[in-house]
Amino acid sequence: MKFFIIAGEASGDLHAAHLMRAIKQHCPGAEFRYYGGEQMQAEGGTLLCHYRQLAYMGFVQVALHLRTILRGMARCKREIEAWQPDALILVDYPSFNLKMARYVKQRAICPVFYYISPKIWAWKEHRINAIRRDVDRLFSILPFEVDFFERKHHYPISYVGNPTVDEVSAYCHTHGTPVPDGRTIALLPGSRRQEITDNLSRMLCAVRPWASTHHIVVAMAPGVEPAFYQDIMHAADITPDNVQLVSGRTYELLSHAQVALVTSGTATLETALFRVPQVVCYYMRCGWFISRVRPYFLKVPYISLVNLIAGREVVPELVADGMNVTALRAHLTQLLDDKSPVRQAQLQGYADVAKRLGQPGAPQRAAAEMLTRLGK
């Protein structure tokens, strides 16, 4: 069977790679062509376009690279049409993927499966109409999405568990139970250049008082060169002697970190599953304006997956102009104290999050259902 898969960022690349592996276990002769990255490429098949060529964030960046994005969409449509896959599998990345779903359904090329739902519960809820029209089955990895889609919109979906649980469990099975070393502060500033620039500079300034007593370690994003981070460090007046950069070792970092500053996204959930107390950070330019209009556009009370899954505030969220050095240092001071009630409350909240997510096996469950729906 032939599968065309589209993933638009690093986390999607990782989740899609594990789904590919699961599909191959159920269907050894499966063929893959995809828009993705190195993780998917390691599973075989043909990488047609790296996600970095099309992954742009924010209105300005999208506008500046609109011609490139439109060319990428046109090329993707041609490649799907020419190959005639048995299924199109979309992984998050809704601005691009929903257009591909529409194209495929209009031409009745193949069934469309969506693995890792667009976050329409947070913004752009109107996209439910496109999903209902163009997606044959949506596979959810967040438990609260079941109520949103099925009860609010009467659109049946499949909750298959969360692949991050699988990924963290697999790492711990291989490397042992995580043990904080009491001296490492992890900085996870995001995966896109703009958010790295905006968040890392403030994170570095915030941790400066602990630079002589702790290891400050920055997890670099795939495909972003060390010089990019070093320029930010220089601008923040932090020398390379005080900060270590690591690439492809985020789980290793989290396995012994005492605390973490994390840009909102999948990394917040990974940090929670490693039981590392964290502060969720997301600086935005024009923050004073964003903080005032946020209630009109963002339909959920939290931005971090940890709090959304728990249904309450387990970890602090510093957003827009609230993401500043003073606030970061105040939270860090509490979380670096192993006996702090704030730190212990986070760890208890993490246990609740893990329980709600369920057991490992998300890629296998998704792959099995996809193949069943395809008659395999």
Q: What is the pLDDT of residues 129-170, one digit of tens each?
A: 999 999 999 999 999 999 999 999 999 999 999 999 999 999
Nearest alpha carbon to residue 316 among 335, 298, 299: 335
Name the amino acid, one letter, at 292: R
What integer pLDDT is reported at residue 297 of this predicted model? 46
Domain with CATH 3.40.50.2000 in the chain: 2-161+361-373, 175-357
Name 278's bridge partners: 260
Using CA atoms, how far residue 60 sits from 9, 64, 285, in Å, is 19, 6, 12
Nearest alpha carbon to residue 49 among 31, 73, 22, 29: 73
- In CATH terms, the superfamily for domain 2-161+361-373 is Glycogen Phosphorylase B; (3.40.50.2000)
pLDDT tens sequence across 316-331: 999 988 999 999 999 9
What integer pLDDT is reported at residue 320 of this predicted model? 87
Which residues lie closer than 8 Å to 38 by C-beta, 6 or more apart? 13, 222
Structure tokens belonging to residue 276: 């590392």
What integer pLDDT is reported at residue 348 of this predicted model? 97
Average pLDDT on 279-304 reads 66
**Is the pLDDT confidence value at 290 over 70?**
no
What integer pLDDT is reported at residue 56 of this predicted model? 55
Average pLDDT on 44-63 reads 75
pTM score, whole prediction: 0.85
Q: DSSP H helical segments within the chain, as ranges?
A: 10-26, 38-41, 58-64, 66-83, 94-106, 128-134, 145-146, 163-175, 193-207, 226-235, 250-256, 266-273, 287-297, 305-310, 325-335, 341-357, 362-373
Distance CA 84, CA 102 (A): 15
CATH number belonging to the domain at 175-357, selected among 3.40.50.10490, 3.90.1150.10, 3.40.50.2000, 3.30.1380.10? 3.40.50.2000
Are the CB atoms for 161 and 358 separated by under 8 Å?
yes
Nearest alpha carbon to residue 284 among 107, 119, 102, 60: 60
